[in-house]
Structure 1
Amino acid sequence: MGLRLGGRHYGDEEFLVMAVVNRTRDSFFDQGATFSEEAALAAVDQAVADGADIIDIGGISAGELKEYVGVEEEIARVAAFAREVKRRHPGTAVSVDTWRHEVAEAVCSAGADLINDSWGGADPLTAVVAAEWGAGLLCAHVGGQAVRTDPKRVVYDDVMADVLDRTLALAERAVALGVPRECVIIDPAHDFGKVTVHSLEVTRRLREMTGTGWPVLVAVSNKDFIGETLDLPVERRLAGTLATLAVCAWEGARIFRVHQVAEARAVLDEVRALKFPGAAARSDR
């Protein structure tokens, strides 16, 4: 099936880079470096220059024991900012990472193209809002875990079977509510409701997910499963991130949520040239 965000349709051979820009004080990766509007806008401009196709704006950190952010504060952090990003970069899709329907309503009215519901339908009205506005919706797997809780002693009989059951149900519900089918994306949600062995397994078996025909997003950038696999702190996980992105791209993922845009863009362009004949930017020799 196709993929559309905003007014643009994307071909099956395009790899889309989604740049993370967090308006938070406690992001696990940058520790609040883009909390201020000035810093966040500079990060957006740089991400677009580096090849980002989508800007994903977050107003609340996902982790347990992080700063509490209420609905009104989250809206204040992301809605007007989304409008400004859309104004500055009209050719770039704007996504907002939220599970709350009130925030989804505010950012859709500000022109957001995609609601990144990274907590797997925790607020069932969020999909209703996406349908009402004709926005895209990301349907993520969290295994029934509560919002902003870290996975502990998580057990699955078959983690990929659970991923498929839950994300496909969310995707079909979104379409039934009125979200355009070509605007629905599914996400295995590495590390959400999963420990390292689960995140590694869904990566190995990603073709089972991409084979459903739904566009698949992966958000693996600098995550704990990479750190635990390589025994590396967050600031040294770039190589592991890029290796994982390459595998996911080869296995059929379409959208890649990342912190380091230029490096991800280069890796994905190389994978695209290897995977799809004629996709290389140049062929002079």
Structure 2
Amino acid sequence: MYVPQDRYVWDFWLIAHAGRYHLFHLQAPRGLPDPEMRHGLATVGHAVSQDLVHWQDLGAALGPGRPGEWDDRAIWTGSVIKRDGLFYMLYTGTCRAEGGRVQRIGLAVSRDLLHWEKHPGNPVLEADSEWYEGVEGSPFGELAWRDPYLFQHEGVYFALITARRGEGEPNKRGCIATARSEDLVHWQVGPPLEVPAGFAQMEVPQAIRHEDRFYLLFSSEAGWVADERCPRATGTFYATAPTLFGPYSVPKPLLGDPFYAAKLIQTFRGRWVALAWVGTAGGGFIGGISDPMPVRFKADGEIEVG
């Protein structure tokens, strides 16, 4: 397990490049009076590995903006993709002036995955009230618009985003928003994926295609599960669909406590594994990234981990 001695680490995203896996993750100092305080102090850390087990810590990759900027409070979850020799990172930001209540998405660009420059036009992605809930009317007192997951599909770049629908039962408005782009800079927000309504929040999404199915992963706390067909458990869920946009099946649990925000990764050897961050275990908060766990895709569409 990757557990830096001086920092909590949690949500993460990866990109494979030149024989190494680059891990980007949220981080905050250990020793806080309450581990929940980490969210308001989060920056992005960076580590590399050749086997997903042994990691070399490369320090901070991205931090909050200068006072008064849109991301001057904390930096949250994102993802990275390569295009035309450059690396593009979408990331979540909040500002102090709004008390962190409004989440927006910005862009940073790098040539080497080590040095990142924030785009001057940030934020590049904001929630569209045509489909998505704002601060007013939210039982959480915030505008949910975070955790962008980047990928390319049929020649177009897409981002899947943690959001909430603008209508419906408040405890079932959690959704996965979509946005599309030709250049990773200019984005068009679209409607959410067609997933059965049943969660208050659907965090840290990921979508992959395996054979003839699309698999959607997201994570939720037990108190956010409102669909009686799903177990009220904290952890990562998955659903399947014949197309990227759905309709998706009723979500099933993939990994539960103490694991959260799991991601499926195809190794350099072509095997599929899962990584997740480790939360509370053994009476204390761990704040580390698990070792890889083997994944098996079954013929009926189910996934087995371990």
TM-score with structure 1 setting the length: 0.34
TM-score with structure 2 setting the length: 0.32
Task: From the two aligned structures, give the one with the greater helix fraction.
Answer: 1
Task: From the two aligned structures, give the one with the greater strand fraction.
Answer: 2
Structure scoring higher RCO (CA < 8 A, sep ≥ 6) equals: 1
